[in-house]
Amino acid sequence: MQIMDINTENITEFITAKFPDLSVEKNTLYIVSTPIGNLEDISFRALHVLKNVDMIATEDTRVAHILLNHYGIKQKLVSYYSQVENSKLNYITEFINEGNSVALISDAGTPCISDPGSILVNKCIEENINVVSVPGASSLIHALVLSGFKNDKFYFHGFLPQKKGREKTFTELKDIKSNIILFESKFRIKKTLTELLKNLGNREVLIAREMTKKFEELYRGRLRSIDLNKIKEKGEFVIVVNNASS
């Protein structure tokens, strides 16, 4: 087989030629991981599925278009974000039961992890619809391996409650003697770091921002040594707290 020059315009042709056994099944929901930042962090299999399913359910169609346009993929999209999860369940499952395939993607990373999707997956399981996961990027794993902390076990919490239950959550986290992984927004990152120091003590942390992107930044050290004034309040953050040792 003649090897073609690979670029974003012919990548799907290359995948079809190089991996002829790849297929997309009907009556199937595909959970497809997408890049968390760098658009090149996606598998050939994921691109093949995105190109060949009958519809993509996506958290934000505008974000999805950035990825799809980058790889020359034109596809039918339906918005599927947290506020419409329940209202679109029947539409998506009926579409699959009519003999179609659907790919579920989030704005970044693996769907269903602090993102919409678990309700849809559960309904598909209840209706005996085939569910296939196409693995890939995950921001929490990316941050964990960059932390350098012993990672034989960890606890993933995701986003902290903004108000109700916040103090109770910190009390519960204090008793978890392992690495703790949190998601946080740019609006609350400094508040959360201050409260972590108050509630968990002067723990070692890794704070990751804009991961895999051009301006990825990592902040390391004990909580008391982190200069909050140097943290850029842009993008989303992953915090890894070493709560296993003193």
Can you give the pLDDT at residue 245? Answer: 73
SS3 content of the chain, % helix, strand, coil (to 5): 35, 25, 45
Which residues in 41-61 are b (16+ Cβ under 10 Å) and which e?
A: bbbebbbbbbbbbbbbbbbee
Please list the residues that pair with 57 across neighbouring strands.
78, 104
Specify the DSSP element, H or E, that contains 145: helix 139-147
Going from the C-alpha of 158 to that of each of 27, 62, 183, 192, 198, the distances in angstroms are 32, 24, 5, 13, 19
Residue with the bigger pLDDT between 173 and 16: it is 173
Query: DSSP code of 5?
Result: P
- The pLDDT of 13-42, averaged and rounded, is 92
Q: Residue 241, class by beta-carbon neighbours within 10 Å (0-12 exposed, 13-18 middle, 19+ buried)?
A: buried
Report all structural domains of the chain as residue ranges with CATH numbers, in order of start: 11-134 (3.40.1010.10), 139-242 (3.30.950.10)
| Residue 151 near residue 179 (C-beta atoms within 8 A) | yes
Q: Residue 178, class by beta-carbon neighbours within 10 Å (0-12 exposed, 13-18 middle, 19+ buried)?
A: middle
- The pLDDT mean for the chain works out to 93
Question: What is the DSSP pairing of strand 55-58 with strand 101-105?
Answer: parallel
Specify the DSSP element, H or E, that contains 70: helix 61-70
pTM assigned to the model:
0.89
Whether the per-residue pLDDT at 4 is higher than 50: the answer is no
pLDDT band for 169, please (50, 70, 90 cuts). very high
At 39-50, the pLDDT tens digits run 999 999 999 999
